[in-house]
Amino acid sequence: MANAFKLNTKKNIGTADSAIYTCPSATETTIIGLNLANTTTSAIEANVKLLNNGGDSCFVVKSAPIPIGSSLVPVGGDQKLVMNANDVIQVSSSAASSIDVCLSILEIT
């Protein structure tokens, strides 16, 4: 099995669910860090959703506030999330073009 640390970034996330990362086939992924930065001059709310390949979806955080000039770390430190093949992590915001995302992962193939 091969291990690879990777960073995925996405800028200007808005009100629509935006796929940040899809776990490739024949791969298991551990999310080791997820940072959401508010890039606007107003407070916003963020949603992070995990779409399970089995058909379920669940919120990691829902309507979590991010003040002006701040960020939210829904995954990091002692908390990790495991993704299986074809699982998807999505982010959305209460405002257009308002969140920059940094996602740190460990892919195991």
Q: What DSSP line would sit under 40-73, residue for residue?
A: SSS-EEEEEEEE-TTS-EEEEEEEEEE-TT-EEE
Backbone CA torsion sign across 59, 64, 70, 75: negative
Domain ranges of the chain: 3-108
Predicted model pTM: 0.94
| CATH assignment, 3-108 | 2.60.120.1330
- Angstrom CA distances, 19 to 22, 51, 106, stand at 7, 10, 18
The per-residue pLDDT string of the chain (109 residues; one tens digit each, 9 = 90 and over) reads: 799 999 999 999 999 999 999 999 999 999 999 999 999 999 999 999 999 988 889 999 999 999 999 999 999 999 999 999 999 999 999 999 999 999 999 999 9
> From its phi and psi, is residue 9 left (phi > 0), alpha (psi between -120 and 50) or beta?
beta
Question: Please, are residues 45 and 61 in contact by the beta-carbon 8 Å criterion?
Answer: no
